Amino acid sequence: MRSLVFLIPGLIIASSALTAQAGTLGPELRAYPAGLIPGLRGEVSLGETDLILLHAGYNATDRRDWGEHAEESGGGGGLGLGWLHRLGSASGGWVLGARVDYWQLEIDWEDPGRSGRSDVDVLQPAAVGAYRRVSGRWQLEASLSIGREINLSTDGEDVGEGWILLAGLGALFGI
């Protein structure tokens, strides 16, 4: 419930801010060894080469035994902000940048003979590399990111955090 309260206003704010200026808006899906992150993403151009990225999504994770416990799984909503720099032209090519995401996760965990739930606020800074293909008002993107999951606060027992590698796909439409 806590995640829905956070996610719905975030989607409304992000889409309102993006549609107020020329930019792009569309779905994205990022995957990492322990989960999937579907979301809605938008970008606003800062000129010929730079973009501001906003997104809202849901982080579904199954960390198996890679965390602090024998089993960890759960998820939650979040928002993110980033900066991207085009190395090619606006018609496509390589893009480099950085993004930082904030997640409110509910993680169910199990150890032999005991179990529980931890509510975790997570900061996820990452470096991003991507390739874009532009066709008319559509942009298709494949990306790779490396970063850290940093547990800012935990209500319950500690759960996993650390390095993260994400692969992503996005389809953005010019608005």
Residue the block writes with tokens 């904030």: 102
Provide the token pair at 21: 């200026």
Each of the 175 residues of the chain gets a pLDDT tens digit; together they read: 455 555 555 555 555 454 445 688 999 999 999 999 999 999 998 888 899 999 999 999 998 888 889 999 999 999 999 999 999 776 788 999 999 999 999 999 999 999 999 999 999 999 999 999 988 889 899 999 999 999 999 999 999 999 999 999 999 998 7
Tell me how far apart the alpha carbons of residues 62 and 107 are, in angstroms, rounded to a whole number.
9
pTM (predicted TM-score): 0.85
Which domains, and CATH codes, for the chain?
2-174 (2.40.160.20)
Q: 70 by DSSP, 3-state: which? A: coil
Residues, the chain, total?
Answer: 175
- Expressed in percent and rounded to 5, the helix, strand and coil fractions of the chain are 10, 70, 20
Based on its alpha-carbon atoms, the radius of gyration of the chain, rounded to whole angstroms, reads 17
Q: If you ran DSSP here, which 8-state letter would residue 11 be given?
A: H
